[in-house]
Amino acid sequence: MTADANEKSSLKDSPQENGVQTNQYSAISPPASPVDQEQDGGFSTYFEEKVPIPNDANQAFSFRKLWAFTGPGFLMSIAYLDPGNIESDLQSGAKAGFKLLWVLLGATIIGLLLQRLAARLGVVTGMHLAEVCNRQYPTVPRIILWLMVELAIIGSDMQEVIGCAIALNLLSVGRIPLWAGVLITITDTFVFLFLDKYGLRKLEAFFGFLITVMAISFGYEYVLVKPDQGELLKGMFVPYCAGCGPVQLVQAVGIVGAVIMPHNIYLHSALVKSRDVDRKNKNDVKEANKYFFIESTIALFISFLINVFVVAVFAQAFYNKTNMDVNAECNMTGSPHTDLFPLNNATLEVDIYKGGVVLGCFFGPAALYIWAIGILAAGQSSTMTGTYSGQFVMEGFLNLRWSRFARVLLTRSIAITPTLLVAIFQDVQHLTGMNDFLNVLQSLQLPFALIPILTFTSLTSIMNDFANGLFWKISGGIVILAVCAINMYFVVVYITALNSVLLYVFAAFLSIAYLCFVIYLAWHCLIALGVSCLDFGSRVMYHTLWMKWNDNETHFNLQSF
């Protein structure tokens, strides 16, 4: 039987309402190979090259295979090291000392579990999350979902590009203004993004080099400051915050929001497609899932250590410091940035710009410049991965068939235009308020990545034998509920601090629409998790599945609406 005949047969058996076909979900069949796509229209949804996997038979573990799978996890881990995370780290150290390191550890572990789901979706289906959303959600929810994820990417990009611009400003002793730094970052990002033309492994090696630069830069600061190791270990493994108040609570919530980023789930599910895995072979798929999880664990462990370096430096050197303390030290060293710290006894407030300045005042110019190099590496690497995220999301949700350059140009323009406007009209010394707003923006978008990834990885119609078991369904649901609740608290704290009745009313209207859409996604998720009592509509038929055979491979189709 041909594929067309099977499709017609399936549609005959599918539900109708008033003579109209009611299912809006398409078949869960993976996209064609890059070679086929290039022949069809010069388009590929990912890198043209796939990394071959060595055949080490009869080995439970192979370092050669691990090396072949190494790459996507490290690119994913860069989102845990972007300038927004670095700023959250230094503020955590300055405001709470070592006391919130356990929150950072817990958030990283939760992030690893969520990245595991993203990688499994990409490996098992051959599609990334945006592509699956495109095929599984009706048109209107799909477009809303795409817009929400784009907002998250724009917010993340603004922090990353401005982080690069701040680093260039520090390295040039103020000679390169913020707007010029943004333009430089945009230009070199375009250049670096085409490194994969010289081979995917070379591109991954370049990202590895940038992570190494961050490790050396922030590791140097760590060795220079010599943090108290006992306090560090206590703060990391004792889940308690003695003497902490509302400021530390908000900071703890901010750590979770900075570490777990929505666009990174979409990114990781696409990056794993770069390995040549035979998805028709169950053992090969199982093996790929294993090695990707090991690689992600190693990558996030390294990113966690780098984050700990930053927290520990500011916890040891600047915890409980006042503006007057820093002003006096900067005066003694002849720093030109003394006016950043007013003569009062308020607790020191730092961001990535002021962080570099205070390091220079207390530990010499070398500390400032090495800090700036680390920030530049963080910003540059995360800007590049953010661009890839934008491409995958736009391609997947909108099914674009454009040339690669056109897609890069469009996705960069969408994210960069507001960044350039901010850089032109905002002073480099007063960006903390904008960063807070961007963190809130990304926190709001978190459900639009976490709920779909749990939904689709729990459906046997999509994941077959690799669908989430009962343990992962329950634990995944609890983790996602907790993360979303924590981030919503952060949003409420931010909005209530605005002290504007007009903004309160505007936020209330937006909240109604926002909650309705989140409830819609959660409803579908709960049905996928097995809460059948919610499947009360005759037009919601997750339990009605049919199979079609095509090219000797079984593809399952999911019906709804």
Write out pLDDT tens, residues 376-385.
999 999 988 8
Alpha-carbon 522 to chain mean position: 20
pLDDT tier at 185 (50, 70, 90 boundaries)? confident
User: In this predicted structure, what is the pLDDT of residue 545?
Assistant: 34
pLDDT score of 540 more than 50: no
pLDDT tier at 15 (50, 70, 90 boundaries)? very low
User: In this predicted structure, what is the pLDDT of residue 458?
Assistant: 93
Q: Report the C-alpha gap between 195 and 217 in whole angstroms.
A: 24
| Most confident listed range (45-49, 217-221, 274-278) | 217-221
For residues 397-417, average pLDDT = 73
pLDDT score of 31 more than 80: no
User: In this predicted structure, what is the pLDDT of residue 1?
Assistant: 41
Alpha-carbon 17 to chain mean position: 40
Q: Report the C-alpha gap between 287 and 58 in whole angstroms.
A: 12
Residue that wins the pLDDT comparison between 119 and 555: 119
For residues 550-561, average pLDDT = 39
For residues 389-409, average pLDDT = 79
Residue pointed to by tokens 């959250």:
88
User: In this predicted structure, what is the pLDDT of residue 501?
Assistant: 81
pLDDT score of 554 more than 60: no
Q: Report the C-alpha gap between 520 and 396 in whole angstroms.
A: 21
End-to-end Cα separation, the chain, in angstroms: 28
Please state, rounded to an integer, the average pLDDT across all residues of the chain.
82
Query: Taking the CB of residue 472, how many other CB atoms lie within 10 A of it?
Result: 19
Write out pLDDT tens, residues 309-363.
999 999 999 998 888 999 898 988 888 888 888 888 888 888 899 999 999 999 9
Lowest mean pLDDT, pick from 226-230, 243-247, 473-477, 549-553: 549-553
pLDDT tier at 39 (50, 70, 90 boundaries)? very low
Q: Phi first, then psi: give them for residue 28, nearest 5 degrees.
A: -85, 70
Secondary structure of 343-364 in the HEC alphabet?
A: CCCCECCCCHHHHHHHHHHHHC
pLDDT score of 551 more than 70: no
pTM for the complete prediction? 0.85
Residue that wins the pLDDT comparison between 536 and 38: 536
User: In this predicted structure, what is the pLDDT of residue 124?
Assistant: 95
Check: CB of residue 93 under 8 Å from CB of residue 319: yes
Within 8 A by CB and 6+ apart from 375, the residues are 83, 86, 163, 164, 166, 167, 170, 352, 356
Lowest mean pLDDT, pick from 11-25, 337-351, 396-410, 535-549: 11-25
Q: Report the C-alpha gap between 383 and 193 in whole angstroms.
A: 10
User: In this predicted structure, what is the pLDDT of residue 553?
Assistant: 41
Residues present in the chain in total: 561
Write out pLDDT tens, residues 72-130.
999 999 999 999 899 999 999 999 999 999 999 999 999 999 999 999 999 999 999 99
User: In this predicted structure, what is the pLDDT of residue 38?
Assistant: 38
